Amino acid sequence: MYSRMTHGIRNTRPFAVGLVCLILSFCIAAQDGPPRELGKKEADLVELTKLDKTLKLDIRYATANNFVGRAVYPETRAFLQRPAAEAVVRVNKELRKQGLGLVIFDGYRPWSITKLFWDVVPEEKRKFVADPKTGSKHNRGCAIDLSIYDLKTGKEIPMPSGFDEFTARASPAYAGGTDEERRNRDKLRHLMEAAGFTVNPNEWWHFDFNGWQDYAIYDIAFDQVGTEKKAR
């Protein structure tokens, strides 16, 4: 009896070990993907230029002109959740009355790109990027990076710092720079906040749409936007 029991245990041991390994592998894989959240709204990402063709795109992450030093987006496109996108269009229309317009640097960002940013940025600069463990508001389709340009010249108007400049000048509260730069920065902030956005405390160009927490964290590729609506 004892012999048969121990023989049975020995026979099941490889199965048990294999099961444990499978569970561990699943857990490790899960940690490599975006955080899972329940009870979120379905994605309704829309392309900004399809709502307003006058929005100017300068998608730096589709070029080598960014802090990573290489293109991380396959296409020059910008998306947001529909309510946020419609709010951006309203701001652009207001600026056009003044001979100005919005230039878009980034909108929805797949979670895998947020993880890449976290991995390549030195630890002392990580306040400028999102922790992939909690995800970014960009991953939710509710954050946008943008500035203002002159419709006549096509050039960006002066700001206290450049886009993705990881210095104190990037703060929306930075007191340095010229009067013109601060006025331009504050103009952008005023218009965006009136449209339902909140400025990032470290980046004058980054705005989060109010209610962002209602949306899930997505890792949908640009060419798959619109084909997968369910929140992940």
Residue range 11-32: average pLDDT?
A: 43
Enclosing domain of residue 12: 1-32
- Is residue 176 one of the residues assigned to a domain? yes
Residues 9 and 115 in one domain: no
Number of domains making up the chain: 2
Residues 23 and 130 in one domain: no
- Is residue 91 one of the residues assigned to a domain? yes
Which of 175, 153, 138, 165 shows the shortest CA–CA distance to 103? Answer: 153
Residues 58 and 27 in one domain: no
Between CA 104 and CA 146 the distance in angstroms is 4
Burial bucket for residue 130 (CB in 10 Å: 0-12, 13-18, 19+): buried
Q: Give the count of alpha carbons within 13 A of 92, CB side only.
A: 21
Residues 170 and 196 in one domain: yes
Residues 24 and 51 in one domain: no
Residues 95 and 59 in one domain: yes
Lowest mean pLDDT among 16-20, 28-32, 157-161, 215-219: 16-20
Structure tokens at 43: 């994605």
Which of 68, 80, 78 shows the shortest CA–CA distance to 103? Answer: 78
Say whether pLDDT at 46 is over 70.
yes
Residues 118 and 183 in one domain: yes
User: Can you give the CATH number for the domain in which 220 is found?
Assistant: 3.30.1380.10
Concatenated DSSP letters for 141-198? T-EEEEEEEETTT-PBPP-SS-TT--SGGGSTT---S-HHHHHHHHHHHHHHHHTTEE
Residues 62 and 132 in one domain: yes
Residue range 190-205: average pLDDT?
A: 97
Q: Which amino acid is at 179?
A: D
